Amino acid sequence: IVVKQLALDAEAEPDMTDWQRVVTAARAPKDRVRIAICGKYVEHKDAYKSLGEALRHGGLAHSLDVDLRWIESELIESGDPETVFQGVDAILVPGGFGERGFEGKVAAARYARERGVPYFGICYGLHAAVVDFARHVAGLPGANSTEIARSAIDPVIALITEWTNEDGATERRSDGSDLGGTMRLGSQKCRLVEGSLARSLYRRDVISERHRHRYEFNNRYRERFAALGMRMAGVSMDENLVELIELPDHPWFLACQFHPEFTSTPRDGHPLFAGFIAAARDYRAIRSAPRLASAAADASGAAA
């Protein structure tokens, strides 16, 4: 219709193969996975619109229907994580800012880490994962982000100026704030570590992703956490900033500082989301195995 109305010269027939695959996967999914999104703006789902779409794109790559369970992170702080995450195949902690609900995100990261549930942290989700690791693996109970606690005993997440200055002081603008100038915005390149999960998913060693954040992984803890099993899977091109972390001993635990949801499309998806959904599918199969075995045993007993 567009070609006809605009009198465009388009003699070649369009190749709709990719779109046909997308439509087939959407209309007839092979299975379903349930993803918990632990955020602080879940009552306004449009705040996570691109995130929800990217997860569905990841499902299309595997012909899977993606059931999104929106969980207010503050509820995790006051509730039982076992109850909150019952029936969930994977956990995603998205971006955000501010103190409200952050401890719930930390609790979500801890739950996924300790129970082998696939975990995907994006921006603030990386911060939550690092704080959990610092407190409960590295033995630093006072660990926090300086966005939350300016005088944290162990500021594992901080402004770059807070861990590059000798005295740890924060550089401020003339108006007394530290906003604006410290923000990392837009597309930036990142080098992926050989042998990492991220590199196996992207299938290349250098990527470019979009950023929007001010606080970073504090390099003063880099060697210590690496010795305890955290892999710095992606770093900035000058190797000064941590862009991705992984836990190699975990079935699927990855967190990134950037926002991969901004570059996902229905046809191509995004390698991190496709990998995350595949991990959720595999976890669902493992989680379902005991129930299937029990049902088979009951059926066998009834037949006998």
Q: Look up 123 and say whether it is catalytic.
A: yes
- Its sign, for the CA torsion 40, 44, 47, 48, is positive
Q: In the chain, how long is the greatest CA-to-CA distance?
A: 82
Contacts with 244 (C-beta within 8 Å, 6 or more apart), sequence order: 126, 190, 192, 196, 198, 232, 233, 234, 254, 255, 256, 257
Q: Which one of the listed residues 62, 211, 259, 270 is annotated catalytic?
A: 259
Per-residue pLDDT of the chain (304 residues; tens, 9 = 90+): 888 899 988 877 888 999 999 999 999 999 999 999 998 877 776 778 889 999 999 999 999 999 999 998 888 888 788 899 999 999 999 988 878 889 999 999 999 999 999 999 999 999 999 999 999 999 999 999 999 998 899 999 999 888 776 544 434 333 333 444 567 888 999 999 999 999 999 999 999 999 988 899 999 999 999 999 999 999 999 999 999 999 999 999 999 999 999 999 998 889 999 999 999 999 999 987 765 455 555 555 555 5
Residue 259 is given by DSSP the state -
Which three-class secondary structure state does DSSP give residue 153? coil
- Its sign, for the CA torsion 85, 67, 202, 283, is positive
Q: Which one of the listed residues 216, 256, 261, 270 is annotated catalytic?
A: 261
> How confident is the model at residue 164, as a pLDDT?
74
CB 158 within 8 A of CB 172: no
Give the C-alpha separation, 38 to 105, whole Å.
7
Q: Look up 259 and say whether it is catalytic.
A: yes
Q: Look up 261 and say whether it is catalytic.
A: yes
The CA–CA distances, whole Å, from 92 to 95, 112, 125, 196 equal: 10, 9, 8, 20
Q: Which residue has the tokens 């992926």?
A: 192
Residue 28 amino acid letter: A
CB 219 within 8 A of CB 264: no
Strand bridging mode 31-39 / 64-72: parallel
Q: What is the pTM of this model?
A: 0.86
Q: Which one of the listed residues 123, 190, 216, 243 is annotated catalytic?
A: 123
Which three-class secondary structure state does DSSP give residue 41? coil
